[in-house]
Amino acid sequence: MRIKIMRLDKKSPKEDEVLFHVHEVTSTIDEAINVLKNNSKSLIATLINSEREEKISFHNIIYVEYLERQVFLYTKNKTYLLRKSLVNFKQKSPNYLVQISKNTLVNIYYVTAFTSHINGNLTLQLTSHEKLIVSRRYVVELRKVLKSIIE
């Protein structure tokens, strides 16, 4: 596979564009298309300890926690709050935000490593150096999603 990237001049009026020339749409190409499509998706959330609301792109979310009937969104430098259910949030989020426990979703593109445990759980290492536990119930689905990205 050959990859060619052409940078546009910042002053160019052209919109960013991606063009694939492929013989077959593999799972990797399909995933790249999904990432590109979902990259523009965003939401409005309240900055923690503030009344300020900000627009956040889904691809900037490292992981999501549901605590005390509120959704907490963790990005590289900030934490945000949404007053909605995790189920509702998950339905509107891109497929690279994968559920890893009853109250946690993780952006699989921020996972750097994982460790298996005897009890069937996994520990994920994130680019933010945080560690999250994947409960046994969600291990199979997570491995399936990770495998589809690698292939």
What's the total number of domains in the chain?
1
Q: Is residue 70 part of a domain?
A: yes
Q: Report the C-alpha gap between 57 and 49 in whole angstroms.
A: 20
Q: Is residue 12 part of a domain?
A: no
Q: Which has more pLDDT, 42 or 71? A: 71
pLDDT at site 95: 85
pLDDT at site 151: 61
At residue 109, φ and ψ (nearest 5 deg) are -80, -5
Spatial strand order of the sheet with 111-116 comes to: 111-116, 122-126, 131-134
The residue among 16, 65, 13 whose CA lies nearest residue 37 is 16
Q: Is residue 8 part of a domain?
A: no
Q: Is residue 6 part of a domain?
A: no
Question: What average pLDDT does this structure show over 86-103?
Answer: 92
For 44, the domain range is 27-150
Name the residue type at position 46.
T
pLDDT at site 14: 67
Q: Report the C-alpha gap between 143 and 8 in whole angstroms.
A: 37
Q: Report the C-alpha gap between 110 and 112 in whole angstroms.
A: 6
pLDDT at site 78: 95
- Output the domain CATH number for residue 136: 2.40.50.1020
In this predicted model, what pLDDT tens digit does every residue of 109-122 receive, in sequence order?
999 998 998 988 88
Question: What average pLDDT does this structure show over 83-99?
Answer: 91
Q: Is residue 131 part of a domain?
A: yes
Q: Is residue 7 part of a domain?
A: no
pLDDT at site 35: 67
In this predicted model, what pLDDT tens digit does every residue of 79-90 receive, in sequence order?
999 999 999 999
Q: Is residue 117 part of a domain?
A: yes
Q: Is the pLDDT of residue 36 over 90?
A: no
Q: Is residue 22 part of a domain?
A: no
pLDDT at site 85: 92
